[in-house]
Structure 1
Amino acid sequence: MIICDGVTKRYGTTTVVDDVRLLIQTGGLTSIIGPNGAGKSTLLSMMARLLTMDGGRVSVDGLDVAATDSAVLARRLAILRQDNHLDIRLTVRDLVAFGRYPHSKGRPTIEDRVHVDRALDYMDMGHLADRFLDELSGGQRQRAFVAMTLAQDTEYILLDEPLNNLDMPHGVAMMSVLQRAAKELGKTVVVVIHDINFASAYSDRIIAMREGRVIEQGTPAEIVTPPVMQEVYGLTVDVVEHGGHPFALYFHASAVRPTDEAEAAPSGQETGRVR
């Protein structure tokens, strides 16, 4: 499990993560949600030791993240950041092979190649393995980077905005494969995500943050409720249930602009739409 105990981060006089205390259970998919500036990505980066803490402690299965040897931590935990810019031209296979560095130290073995091939197949990237990254669509590149984290073969996978720049079909595919990795491969997947409804549909647990603090944590049914959405986002929303999942409606009927057809119809004349 991942335990955050009083985790704090400041930039000058501004506190961006404020005394966060939480426990992320082993297994399943956990989403961290909240408005811009809530401290979600900063918290995730401190969990993976990409950022130093100004206070508190993070432990992964009892290992103090700040004090654990980098090679040991890299075999336990993988992280994918939002900004995946590379200055070198790589094929998909070369990129995914980077995930094996904590194990191979740059000298790949047959076992490393097996892990690379398995990750490529899992992300349905095998047919693109020899393509260069700059020849792929944004969605394909994102899948390649996730394949790299899978090849690292860690128990914990942290992903910062994995749906960034993905359209709806690619977003669905990405969350589906992450959910499947948690269930089939026994991974503990933690994602920072903006879309509440994606979080509700695919997560086992949700952590809701605002202004650097954890406001609520629990199941989607416990978090995606009008009171919690009001507290976290300052927004009044309706919540409906579909397929056993709660979904937030971000708008109300009074806010929807009438269609041109409805505007053009004379008073009392039907437009052919169900009312």
Structure 2
Amino acid sequence: MITLEKVTKTYTSDNQQVRIGPVDLELPRGGVTALVGPNGAGKSTLLTMIGRLLSLDAGEIRVAGLDVTTAKSGELARVISILRQDNHFVTRLTVRQLVGFGRFPYSKGRLTREDDRIITRYIDFLGLTDLQGRFLDQLSGGQRQRAYVAMVLCQETDYVLLDEPLNNLDLAHSIEMMRHIGRAASAFGRTIIVVLHDINFAARYSDCICAVKDGQVVAFGTPEEIMNDETLSAVFDTPITVIDGPHGRIACY
């Protein structure tokens, strides 16, 4: 379980002061939880604080019982992994080399036969087998994003954080990516926390939705509990009508 207690953070963005919190939240073990909300709500900030890529001003975050502020880096790296929007490598790497970076907390750069077996598992799982020898700059955007997700899964942590993995993907590749994320949570028993902009993707592919607005958690529950006119209109500050579709509820803007 991931727990946040009285977490606060104040920072400046675009010459404006932004305040997060205080946030009290419990993210359940297992499945996919989507963080949704308007731009600037604090979704990515919460995610990066959980992943210890951004310090807290106050409060406490625990992941599987570990305090992210005080835990040893090596210990934490075996429990939680994170893929940010802006951590993409610019060097000329092959897909297999990139995915292999996920084994660093265990191998320290010296890959064993077991590491190679695990790397192959996630390359195959993300449908990258025929692409593993290609360089990243030879891939399409969707293929490249799958390679990054494979790298994070290859770290084999119980908790996986994905910051806007659908960014710059078209509709078909976004659907493909969300299916991979859902399958990974189920097949490997992972807890995956994902920041999404599209509420309908969150409703279709996540088990829980956490709605964030103005640095506060304003709603948390199953898609059935969150997907209603009143809640979504309040979260996004615009009239939203929710209808029943063939695969669940759909927000109409």
TM-score by length of 1: 0.89
* Aligned counterpart, 1:48: 51
* Aligned counterpart, 1:61: 64
Amino acid in the other structure paired with 1:106: G
- Is 2:137 the counterpart of 1:134? yes
- For structure 1, the residue ranges without an aligned partner over 5 or more in a row are 251-275
Decide which of 170, 174, 179 is 2:173's aligned counterpart: 170
Q: When the two structures are aligned, how many residues end up with a matched partner?
A: 250
Alignment of 1:1-275 (within 5 A): 1-11=1-11, 14-250=17-253
Q: CA–CA distance in 2 between the matches of 1:210 and 1:246?
A: 21
Residue 243 of structure 1: how far off its partner (Å):
3.1
Q: Deviations over 1:12-40 (max 9, x none)?
A: 68243111111011101000000001000
Decide whether the 8 Å contact of 1:16 with 1:38 is kept in 2. no
Residue 176 of structure 1: how far off its partner (Å):
0.5
Q: CA–CA distance in 1 between the matches of 2:18 and 2:87?
A: 26
Q: CA–CA distance in 2 between the matches of 1:236 and 1:108?
A: 53
Residue 235 of structure 1: how far off its partner (Å):
1.0
Residue 100 of structure 1: how far off its partner (Å):
0.3
SS in 1 for 2:162: strand
Residue 102 of structure 1: how far off its partner (Å):
0.3
Q: CA–CA distance in 2 between the matches of 1:17 and 1:97?
A: 35
Q: CA–CA distance in 1 between the matches of 2:3 and 2:246?
A: 32
Decide whether the 8 Å contact of 1:8 with 1:15 is kept in 2. no
User: Which segment is superposed worse, 205-214 or 237-246?
Assistant: 237-246
Q: Deviations over 1:145-192 (max 9, x none)?
A: 000011111110000000000001100010001111111110000000
Q: CA–CA distance in 1 between the matches of 2:247 and 2:144?
A: 32
CA RMSD of aligned residues (A): 1.0
Q: CA–CA distance in 1 between the matches of 2:51 and 2:134?
A: 30
Decide whether the 8 Å contact of 1:44 with 1:158 is kept in 2. yes
Amino acid in the other structure paired with 1:2: I
SS in 2 for 1:153: coil
SS in 2 for 1:182: helix
Q: CA–CA distance in 1 between the matches of 2:217 and 2:186?
A: 26
Q: CA–CA distance in 2 between the matches of 1:55 and 1:169?
A: 41
